[in-house]
Amino acid sequence: MLRLISTSVICLGLMSGCATTQKLASKVNLGSSDTPMQQVLKERPELRKNLATVEVRQYFNRTESPTAAQVKVTETGLNDDSVRSIRTIYSFKLVDEEWKRIDTQKEYQCMRGKNTKSFQTAKCP
């Protein structure tokens, strides 16, 4: 009997956690606009077919009621012997309950030269 009650309490707790996640997701996707990550993937469909290694990460300024976001796309394993990785950073702001892109920045990690460990805004030699 004790096991049955314990199992019921755990299941109830797990189901309430799912509802919380759904509420959070609906707050991030306000209005009819796509989330920042959805906008980037729509703009760059080649990322899904690219043979390079692609990492896409989405960041918000806060968990509840975010007002700013960034999407970082890092491409590694490119067909370029001078570039190790390219990172594109898309910045978004919530305007009238829709995510609007406000800035895009491209950074390069070089295979040769003085700076091969970190990303830089200058193109690789």
Instruction: Report if residue 93 sits inside a domain.
Output: yes
pLDDT of residue 116: 85
Residue 120 belongs to some domain of the structure: no
The domain containing residue 71 runs over which residues? 31-110
pLDDT at 11: 47
Residue 26 lies in a domain: no
Q: What is the pLDDT of residues 76-123, one digit of tens each?
A: 988 888 999 999 999 999 999 999 999 999 999 999 888 788 999 999
* pLDDT given at position 65: 93
Residue-wise pLDDT for 37-51, tens only, equals 999 999 998 888 776
In a domain, 119, yes or no: no
CATH of the domain at 58: 3.10.450.630
In a domain, 42, yes or no: yes
Report the number of distinct structural domains present in the chain: 1
For residue 53, is it within any domain? Answer: yes
Q: What tens digit of pLDDT does each residue of 59-78 get?
A: 999 999 999 999 999 999 88
Q: Is 63 a member of any domain? A: yes
- Report if residue 91 sits inside a domain: yes
pLDDT of residue 27: 47
Q: Is the Cα dihedral 8, 9, 13, 14 positive or negative?
A: negative
